[in-house]
Amino acid sequence: MLTLGNNSFNKGYYDVYGYIFEGDEDVKSQLTGLSFLSFYLILNMFLPLDLVVAIELAKLFYTPFIEADAFMKEPDYSTGSIIGCSAQSITLHEELGEIDYVFSDKTGTIT
């Protein structure tokens, strides 16, 4: 999009201020390719930042679904209520993905 805008800008100014653009008529196509590469290199640094923000927002969006999951709840027989999962950190999604094995002894203590 930026390259097309730059290309139309160059076309408009090539006829009026041709002395700025060195060379012949092929300079327009070279400027278009050069402007595309320039914009790609400049804007390439901004995309990962946008990706990081999108991932963090996705973590915030999925946290209520983890807390509302029926398989993550258990009854508390002493009070008669249901205890559910509570996300204490935003990295809970990543930590749950790292679990391979769950070890438990005969009393049910998870290690």
Q: Which residues are catalytic?
A: 105
Question: What's the chain's Rg over C-alpha atoms?
Answer: 29
93, 66 Cβ separation under 8 angstroms: yes
What's the helix, strand, coil split of the chain in %, to 5?
A: 55, 5, 35
Classify residue 23 by burial, with Cβ atoms within 10 Å: 0-12, 13-18, 19+: exposed
